[in-house]
Structure 1
Amino acid sequence: MIVSIMIVAGIVLIGALGLANRRRQASLDHWTVGKRSNPKWTSWFLQAGESLTTFSFLGLAGIAFGGGVSSTFAVAYLTISWLGLYFVAPRIRELGQRRGYLTMGDFFEDRFRSRPLARVVALIGALALIPYLQLQITGLGLIVELATGSERARGLSMVVASILVAIFVAWSGIKGIARVAILKDLLMVLAMVVIAAGLVITFGGIPEVFGQIAREAPVLLTMHVDGYDPVFFITATLVTVIGSSFNTLPHLWPPVLAAKSGEVLRSNAKWLPVYQLVLFLPITVGLAAVLVLPEDTTGNTVLLTMSGAMLPDWLVGVVAIAGASAAMVPASAIVMGISTLVSRNVVGGVRGGRQMALNYVVIVASIALALAFGLVRSDIGALLLLTYGCTTQFAPAIAIALANRVKVGAWPVGLSIVAGSLTVAVITFAEIPIGSWDSGLIALAPNLVVLVVAEAIRRMRGGRDVEQLDFAADPAATAATEAAGSAGRSAAAPQP
């Protein structure tokens, strides 16, 4: 009963903090990126939110339980990705401020001068984020069920948290997400410290955990477990590094576009890799679980089951609240990513209050869809890799569009993205056996082949480089380009 009360109070507190704005954000640009003036620490917590999610809280422990040290692929890709983002994120922010981007779709429309391409990218991006949103909601339900021992509480908590996320995202936008992100990371670090203390008390220290594993299950300290071999580690790391380095997840664009400066983003990229070290704790918990839990234990349940065995009830409640925040904050950012893509790029042509009204409808619809899927249990690690595999298909196009002059046409880019995304979908839903390979990495092959062939055909038919605006424009023109961006990328006039 104590744990249940703590969790309910925690979820309500998280939702209330997101609603702390006195006034509702009434315009889509302020709702999405504020005044593009987020200082270093606000940007830090918004960007760090992708490191500590339901996947890192539940999924990593589950992968470590079944696959041992192969689970460190998450530490590898998150660390390496910041090297790419050091260069990519400031460039995206620079272009976004000059041209008034609010979404990834705006970027594609403006750089390739094609609204149909923006619609294709926005539609694929929104659909690809649904499994990731489902992952967060599923994880929250599992956390509550395991902490309280009640399956009924699982469904109820998912519904309540989903409603709170919808309300505070609709009301406060990125400002509300930023406030809750700060609380979430503080709670997550606290939870990890508590879990580490439990490991030390239970096993006599973290080194002792690895010593026992070396004696009783040494294969887990190698990469030779079925399904978690070197091919899994390399391909899963590669596809997520490529996707993360080019910021291909649409819901991560608002934090970048809202930053005060490129220097803020570069500073974060230098220090956030250190933050990933905290992920070794859930990995260690997953390895320790091998020593005490039955072999048929479901991977997603490992961390909370171990917490219940090591800690008193009230500390389990603290860990569960942290886990709930790790679901609600990413869920709110994902919902923002989906709703802005649909209302601004997929539908388009809607302005003012009607655009915000459409945005609210998409928020409710996307959360309801993910909640419906989330009520059916899913493998958290698989959901993450599905989203990353699909969105990584944007990486070649983003790399092309970051150059000063775009030399590839819109329709070859669109065809390549569709080819790659369809490949991921077919492999996933048709359950085509690919061994330990990551479907997203495999799909980059047809993506690039279609891109090269289609662009060669375009060039043979007289295609030229995409006409670009002068991005050496005076910064004083920013206000004008913001207004032009709100009116639509393809209709914007070149700046002097």
Structure 2
Amino acid sequence: MSGVSTITFSVFLFFFLLVTVLGFAAARWRRAKALDNLDEWGLGGRGFGTFIAWFLIGGDLYTAYTFVAVPALLYAGSSIGFFAVPYTIVIYPLIFLFLPRLWSVSHRHGYVTPADFVQGRYDSRPLATAVALTGILATMPYIALQLVGMQVVLEVMGIGTDSDNWFVKDLPLFIAFVVLAAYTYSSGLRAPALIAFVKDLLIYIVIIAAVLYLPSQVGGWDNIFATATDSFASFNSSNADAIAAGQAAPKGVIPAPLLHWAYASLALGSALALFMYPHSVTAVLSTRERSVIRRNAALLPAYSFLLGLLALLGFVAIAAGVKVTNPQQAVPQLFENEFPDWFAGVAFAAIVIGALVPAAIMSIAAANLWTRNIYKAFINRGATPSQEAQQSKLASLLVKFGALAFVLFVSTTYALDLQLLGGVWILQTFPAIVIGLYTRFFHRTALLVGWAVGMLYGTWTAYNNPKVGDPGSHFGSPLDPFLSVPWSDWMPFDTLMYIGFTALLLNLVVSVGLSVGLRAMNIDEGVDQTHPDDYHADLGDEGVEEELDPGAPAHA
């Protein structure tokens, strides 16, 4: 730690200790009689109002990976790097439509996970298990990447980088995650909900300050865009032969025609996937009433504005002359170079805390899936609420430390590439969950087969996508030449699309075709345990009661 600024580290440490204290204190916040059931430990008592939910859902969706990786794409010259901005705009009208229905049926029947709903809707334990395992699988690399974001910040700060011993080098990261595991175990979902206030406040302060202050230090926005454009043009010119040979990727601001559908399908596919993730559903089900979700759908686009500002910092880093071999270090290094030491400490704390909040929610959501849809379904069918809560607490620890081991012992670059599979996998649950909220047209067996086809195709295609310049590598691109048919005279269509989107299309085709066939053969469809009225139920209706103690503080 010889190269660490004392002021920067002191400010960073202050905020880290602050959120640690808040994390443990959260067990007493909005106190329940006990946290010995999943409604209290895993869903915060299902009592969060609009104000708290806005911070929690925002803190859940806008992670350290987002704050580090989105501007890193632009810094690296990815012409489709801005896809994250329209996808976060597209998602909110979608969640306005379907998430209130999921909230209502889940509260009416006591569902804790999306797989619970699938089990009740389709009366199919194999399908519910598939949804649960997919959620856990897609969440693991997502948690690991929160650690990658933390690791990048620690590297830029100089913490642990002057040691050749891997244990000493990664010890700060290990300590941070042990603390996260401890207060999540103690306080459940209340911990990230309370910490999200600090996290979002810091993030807004840092980004607004950066957007207002940094451009003035590098010649204004005209110079920023001109410098980025010139830098990309210079790279393309000097590497023309390598680009033509497929050994290097061209850089640019506007996607080439080949990538137009890639950009659009990445935006739409990512929007459809975002609220399929179990941590997104967990945050939504923790709210008090269905109107909270709709109000948040109207308010959360403020984060999209924030994301747009964050993305532009990739260009600012180029104009500021930031030189890093790992593009993910671009924005932290920009803060280190351009901000005073004390404010750099605030910025680094914002990014690290921005990793802690979603990592906690993700681990809780994955643990709930394990407990409800694996442990209780197959191992201990008579589990009491207390046993469920204890099982989730233990599972959340295993998930966290599994993600930690993944980061410590697997190549970081590989971990980032593997994250691209998260959206591919979780999209395959879309027909069973979202379409299932509106119709039971799909046969349960057809959904299971469609899921399997989408999972296999998406995973295999992603595995066989090498990185540019490294033909023997895997998981190097999220794009699929599925619709590229240059051999066809009647369809001379050459484009790339997001693998998750094409896998979902195959999933839907198989599910629709098999559903028609299985119904024609009168194959048993199971019993739907839900009723049409369940999808419109709200707080105060029969079976939908406030879950917090009567003496708890009023809802925000």
> TM-score by structure 1 length?
0.89
* Superposition pairs of residues 196-211 of structure 1, within 5 angstroms: 196-211=211-226
Higher helix residue share: 1
**Would you say 1:40 and 2:50 are equivalent positions?**
yes
Q: Which runs of 5+ in 2 are unaligned?
A: 1-5, 234-250, 467-476, 482-495, 548-556
Contact 1:118 1:346 in 2 (8 A): no
Moved more, 107-116 or 129-138: 107-116
Q: Displacement of 1:268 after TM fit?
A: 1.0
Contact 1:50 1:330 in 2 (8 A): yes
Q: Displacement of 1:112 after TM fit?
A: 0.9
AA in 2 matched with 1:478:
G
Q: Displacement of 1:217 after TM fit?
A: 4.0
Q: Displacement of 1:248 after TM fit?
A: 0.7
**Would you say 1:447 and 2:480 are equivalent positions?**
no
Q: Residue in 1 aligned with 2:272? A: 242
Q: Displacement of 1:33 after TM fit?
A: 2.0
Residues of 2 paired with 1:339 and 1:124: CA distance? 13
Contact 1:108 1:114 in 2 (8 A): yes
Compared CA separation, residues 397 and 441, structure 1 to 2 (3 A): same
**Would you say 1:14 and 2:19 are equivalent positions?**
yes
Q: Residue in 1 aligned with 2:542? A: 477
Q: Residue in 2 aligned with 1:223? A: 255
Choose from 349, 354, 375 the match for 2:387. Answer: 354
Contact 1:51 1:78 in 2 (8 A): no
Choose from 1, 4, 8 the match for 1:3. Answer: 8
Choose from 296, 305, 309 the match for 1:281. Answer: 309
Residues of 1 paired with 2:72 and 2:228: CA distance? 16
Compared CA separation, residues 480 and 111, structure 1 to 2 (3 A): farther
AA in 1 matched with 2:423:
Y
Contact 1:145 1:154 in 2 (8 A): no
Q: Deviation per CA, 1:91-137: give whole Å up to 9, x if none.
A: 11111111111111111111112223211211121011101011101
Q: Displacement of 1:53 after TM fit?
A: 1.1
Q: Residue in 1 aligned with 2:445? A: 411
Compared CA separation, residues 302 and 296, structure 1 to 2 (3 A): closer
AA in 1 matched with 2:365:
G
Compared CA separation, residues 276 and 406, structure 1 to 2 (3 A): same
Q: Deviation per CA, 1:232-278: give whole Å up to 9, x if none.
A: 3122112112223xx21111112211212221111111121233111
Q: Residue in 1 aligned with 2:262? A: 232
Compared CA separation, residues 113 and 470, structure 1 to 2 (3 A): same
Q: Displacement of 1:466 after TM fit?
A: 5.3
Contact 1:4 1:148 in 2 (8 A): no
Compared CA separation, residues 210 and 114, structure 1 to 2 (3 A): same
**Would you say 1:345 and 2:373 are equivalent positions?**
yes
Q: Which runs of 5+ in 1 are unaligned?
A: 483-496
Residues of 2 paired with 1:260 and 1:185: CA distance? 21
Moved more, 86-95 or 354-363: 354-363
Count of matched residue positions in the alignment of Structure 1 and Structure 2: 477
* Superposition pairs of residues 344-423 of structure 1, within 5 angstroms: 344-348=372-376, 349=381, 350-375=383-408, 376-379=410-413, 382-403=417-438, 405-423=439-457
Contact 1:198 1:311 in 2 (8 A): no
Q: Percent identity?
A: 25
Moved more, 16-25 or 414-423: 16-25
SS of the equivalent of 1:220 reads: coil
RMSD of Structure 2 on Structure 1 (CA): 2.6
Residues of 2 paired with 1:294 and 1:10: CA distance? 26
Q: Displacement of 1:479 after TM fit?
A: 5.9
Q: Residue in 2 aligned with 1:333? A: 361
Moved more, 120-129 or 467-476: 467-476
**Would you say 1:186 and 2:201 are equivalent positions?**
yes
Contact 1:27 1:353 in 2 (8 A): yes
Q: Which entry has the higher C-alpha Rg, 1 or 2?
A: 2
